[in-house]
Structure 1
Amino acid sequence: MSKTMTGGCQCGRIRYGVEIQNSDAYLCHCRMCQKATGGFAAAFVEVPAGKIAWTVEPDWYQSSPVARRPFCSACGTPLGFAWIDGTGGQDLTLGSFDDPSWFKPVAHAGCESLHEAWLDTRDLPRHYSATTTSVAERWKAKGLEVPE
C-alpha cells in the first residue's frame, strides 16, 4: 500500500513530499550517522532515488568520499542520506516526517558501532515534557503550551 507523506526541517524552510511504498524503517548505528545526527543511531526511511519532491532544495554536506547528506542550513535539521554516485535509494530521517508514527523498524545497519545499552530502554523512567517543571514553566513564561 503506497502512501503520500510530507515532512521537512524544524524551522519549516525546507519541506518535502514523497510516495512511500511501505512502513519499513531502519536504524543506522555507524559512526558517521551518529555524528551526523548527534544520536546513538540515525533512524531512516529509504525511498527510491529521485522520488522526493522538495519545495526548496536542501543544503547538502558531503560527509564522506561516497555519501552526502541533505540538511537545512538555517536550523540544522538533518534530513537524510544519499550515495554520491546516485545509485540505490535515498534515505529520509524518520524524525523529519510530519507524522513518523506509521513507520516500524525492520533492521539495524552499521552494527559495528551499535551501542547495545541504548536498544532496550523499556524499564527506564518516562518523563513527559508537559509535566516536567523545568520545561513546562519555560513554555508557560512565553505564553505558550508545551508542543508535542
Structure 2
Amino acid sequence: MTEHTGGCRCGAVRFSASAEPTHVSYCHCADCRSATGAPVSAFVGFAADQVAIEGEALRSFDNGAVTRSFCGACGSPIAYADERIGGTLYFMLGAMDAPGTYKPTLHAYVREQLPYLHMPDGLPRHVGSSVSRSQET
C-alpha cells in the first residue's frame, strides 16, 4: 500500500494517509471559494482513522458542521471535515506532495460555479454535494 503524504507551504504541518483515497473531486461552492481564495477547489478524501497529522502550527476554523484546518505559520489551507459526512478527512489537492497522482472524478456544487470558469473535462457534474450528508444545507 502506498503512503499518501503532504503538508503546508512552509513545512510546519505534515500529514499522511495509510489507505487509498476514497474520493477525489472539484468543488465549486462559495464556502470553498471563500476559504481558499480560488475559483474552484480540488480535494482528496481519506478515511479519517487512516490519517496522521503532525505540526504544532496546525489551526482550525469551525463553520457550522464544517471544520477547516490550515497552517498557522504560513496560512496554507490543509483540509476539511464535515460532521454530517463523518469518517472522511478531505485534503486540499494542492497540499499533497504528489498532486498529479490524484485525478478528480467529478464536480460538486456546479450550481455555484463561476460563470466564466469552463472545465470541459467530461466528468460528472453534481448540482449540489456529491456525498450524502445527514442534514444537507
Q: Does the TM-score normalized on the shorter chain lie above 0.5?
A: yes
- Paired position in structure 2 for 1:141: none
Quickly say closer, same or farther: Cα 1:78–1:109, change in 2 above 3 A.
same
After TM superposition, which residue ranges in structure 1, 4 or more long, deviate above 3 angstroms? Answer: none
Deviation at 1:88, TM superposition (A): 3.6
Provide, for residues 76-114 of structure 1, a one-character-per-residue CA deviation record: whole Å limited to 9, x for no partner.
000111024671411000000111111111011122211
Which structure dedicates a bigger proportion of its chain to helix?
1
AA matched with 2:104: P
**Taking every aligned residue pair, what percent have the same amino acid on both sides?**
31
Which structure dedicates a bigger proportion of its chain to strand?
2
Provide, for residues 10-59 of structure 1, a one-character-per-residue CA deviation record: whole Å limited to 9, x for no partner.
01000011124258520111100001010111110011123211122621
Instruction: After TM superposition, list the pairs within 5 Å mapping 1:43-122 onto structure 2.
Output: 43-56=42-55, 58-62=58-62, 64-84=63-83, 87-120=86-119
Give structure 2 stretches of 5+ with no counterpart.
Answer: 122-137
Give structure 1 stretches of 5+ with no counterpart.
Answer: 123-148
